[in-house]
Amino acid sequence: FDTKGVITSNPSIYNGIVYLGSWDTNVYAIYASNGSIRWVFETGWGVETTPVVYNDIVYVGSNDNKFYALDASSGKLLWSYTCNAAVHGGISVSKSFVVFGSDDGYLYLLTLDGTPIWGFSPGRCIEDEINYFTTPIKSTPIICDDTIYVGVLGGFYALS
């Protein structure tokens, strides 16, 4: 099938359905068996993150500054969380939490129903000739036991 935008995210597969994001603002669910579209969810901007599916929920970030939880079967919006910048970074999910980074320089930890637990900023900046920019978190955090590990510009963190 054709999209109206570039695909820069990696696809995910869950129960025979391929999930992917596109710069055409859409998240797609496609039957792996025949390539037909099961559903399409439109965000407010391009989608570069790789969708992660856990317990029948698709978690995905967008350049519209939002992080989404979608029903994997129908594409129905379950909840969304608004950040201060685009969500380009990778996503990790555990049995209780979802964690992701944003271009606003924060790593966000939410419960699986979208309730924020905390946002962590390592406080590192990129300097150009005139401005200081908060370093976006584009790496994929991992969750092991009760610790979250994430790499950022010039550092690596273990958070609990």
Which of the 8 DSSP states describes residue 14? E
pLDDT score, position 123: 67
Which one, of 48, 53, 68, lies nearest residue 114 by Cα?
68
Amino acid at 116: P
pLDDT score, position 131: 44
In whole angstroms, how far apart are CA 46 and each of 20, 49, 107? 11, 9, 20
Domains in the chain with CATH codes: 12-121 (2.40.128.630)
pTM: 0.90
Query: SS3 for 86-143, per residue?
Result: CCCCCEEECCCEEEEECCCCCEEEEECCCCEEEEECCCCEEECCCCEEECCCCCCCEE
Per-residue pLDDT of the chain (160 residues; tens, 9 = 90+): 889 999 998 999 999 999 999 999 999 999 999 999 999 999 999 999 999 999 999 999 999 999 999 999 999 999 999 999 999 889 999 999 999 999 888 999 999 999 999 998 876 555 554 444 556 788 888 888 888 898 777 778 888 8
CA distance 57 to 119: 22
Cα dihedral 71, 75, 78, 84 sign: positive
Which of the 8 DSSP states describes residue 81? E
